[in-house]
Amino acid sequence: MSYDDGSYEAVPGERLLDPEAGSEEAALESALRPRTLDSFIGQQRVKDQLGLVLEAAVARGRAADHVLLAGPPGLGKTTLSMIIAAELGVPLRVTSGPALQHAGDLAAVLSSLVPGEVLFLDEIHRMSRAAEEMLYLAMEDFRVDVIVGKGPGATAIPLELPPFTLVGATTRAGLLPGPLRDRFGFTAHMDFYDAADLERILARSASLLDVPLAAEAGAEIAGRSRGTPRVANRLLRRVRDFAQVRGDGTVDLGVAHAALDLYEVDAIGLDRLDRAVLDALLRRFGGGPVGLSTLAVAVGEESETVETVCEPFLVRAGLLARTPRGRIATPAAWSHLGLAVPPATGAAGTAPLPFETSVGEEPSESG
Ligand code: ADP
């Protein structure tokens, strides 16, 4: 949400380029989800490995190994969990880490599973410690100990569970305790999609939505989608609106350009806030180094928003680097905003630092 004074408030999914889903987006998304492993586009390595795990389970007639899906939001983790259940021909139960604050919450879910069922546990890194400990035993022995009573009189009653397959999803695999990670038979690390895969995803979505989409327009939208199918599909919906209101419904290159310009999504997928951050870093602070909080004040935004909403993509795009001394701009940032790289920018004039280019890691400084 942006205000007249140019400041922003981050609401998940409300920002056009937010990789998280908005509250009303789920229904729109479900129509576009691929239902089989074959129709899931890209992530070939993950698909090959997962396909093998599932086929082996079907051949053995047993519940499949537990699967951990790790990667940034919007890359298809929920979709894959649905595909896993469908390919195994078993029902799917969906819950999430934040919903399991007490061990009892988890016990209730586990004890009501049917044999072979897939349990999708989103944001598994946000589960409570008590639920996590119960989950260890459940994953390994298909059993939980339900504690009845309190204090010295408390007793543990063992409860047998039907065999099930846990599919855990996390955007922060590094936050998972080792013992939990070790209990997954297979971990899929999902990567951002390349332009060619995003074009295929867009072509598929356009045909499901009955939108005539020219190939060059698909390529243009793909290039601005930050490697994320959720963002690609969202941009497609906005461009479709534009085409229907201002044109005859066909999305050609001209329509895609005009619509994306109207929504202020630039050629590499930066929006107004991203560009404001870069602009402040370059023009006000000479390319840095500058502390996060100073940078945030300069754009009238909370530090957390700048850090979690803008920076991951700016870092990944090689425009900004986080260093122990503060944020610095790379030469690519200057040229992206059409500015000449000043000769005396020192550290700011060096190439992106390899140790700073990962996404989703903790920042090396916070103020
Ligand atoms: P996550 O759970 O990782 O946040 P989702 O599974 O909810 O992501 O996917 C977000 C959207 O992107 C869904 O609408 C889904 O249809 C689409 N999507 C994700 N991955 C793919 C893919 N490989 N092929 C086609 N569509 C995809």
| For residue 4, pLDDT beyond 60 | no
**Which DSSP state fits 5?**
T
181, with CB counted inside 10 A (0-12, 13-18, 19+), is: middle
Q: Is 77 a catalytic residue?
A: yes
3-state secondary structure of 147: strand
Instruction: Place 343 in a pLDDT band, splitting at 50, 70 and 90.
Output: confident
Cβ contact 211:249 at 8 Å: yes
Cβ-proximal residues to 360 (8 Å cutoff; 6+ apart), any chain: 72, 171, 172, 312
171 is catalytic: yes
Compute CA distances 209 → 193, 206, 222, 255, 349, whole Å: 21, 5, 17, 17, 45
Which residue has the least CA distance to atom 15 on ligand 1?
Answer: 33
Q: Whose CA is nearest to atom 19 of ligand 1?
A: 76
How far apart are the two ends of the chain, measured CA to CA in Å? 25
Confidence grade of residue 13 (pLDDT, cut at 50, 70, 90): low
> What is the rounded CA–CA span in Å between residue 364 and residue 367?
10
Average confidence (pLDDT) over 46-59: 96
Q: Is 13 in the pocket of ligand 1 (CB under 6 A)?
A: no
pLDDT at 30: 84
Q: How confident is the model at residue 151 (pLDDT cuts 50, 70, 90)?
A: confident
pLDDT for 27: 79
Active-site residue, selected from the candidate residues 15, 18, 78, 79: 78
Instruction: Name the DSSP class of 309.
Output: I
Average pLDDT over residues 191-196: 94
pLDDT, position 8: 42
Q: Could you read off the pLDDT of 99-145 as tens digits, one per residue?
A: 998 889 999 999 999 999 999 999 999 999 999 999 999 999 999 99
CA of 12 to the centre of ligand 1 (A): 16
CA distance 220 to 202: 11
What is the reported pLDDT for 359? 41
Say how far apart CA 185 and CA 82 lie, in whole Å.
18
| Torsion, CA 30, CA 36, CA 41, CA 42, rounded to 10 | 120
Residue 323: Cβ within 10 Å count:
18
Give the containing element (helix H, strand E) for 199.
helix 195-209
Ranking 11-20, 183-192, 201-210, 225-234 by mean pLDDT, the lowest is: 11-20
- The response to whether residue 19 sits with its C-beta less than 6 Å from ligand 1 reads no
Ligand 1 site, residue 41, Cβ cutoff 6 A: yes
SS3 148: strand
Instruction: Check residue 7 and give its pLDDT.
Output: 42
pLDDT in tens, 285-321: 999 899 999 999 999 999 988 888 889 889 999 999 9
**Burial class (CB within 10 angstroms; exposed 0-12, middle 13-18, buried 19+) of 12:** middle
Is 357 marked active-site? no
Ligand 1 pocket, residue 234 CB under 6 Å: no
Confidence grade of residue 353 (pLDDT, cut at 50, 70, 90): very low
Least confident of 60-64, 149-153, 160-164, 337-341: 149-153
33 lines ligand 1 (CB under 6 A): yes
Q: Quote the pLDDT of residue 29.
A: 84
Catalytic annotation present for 5 = no
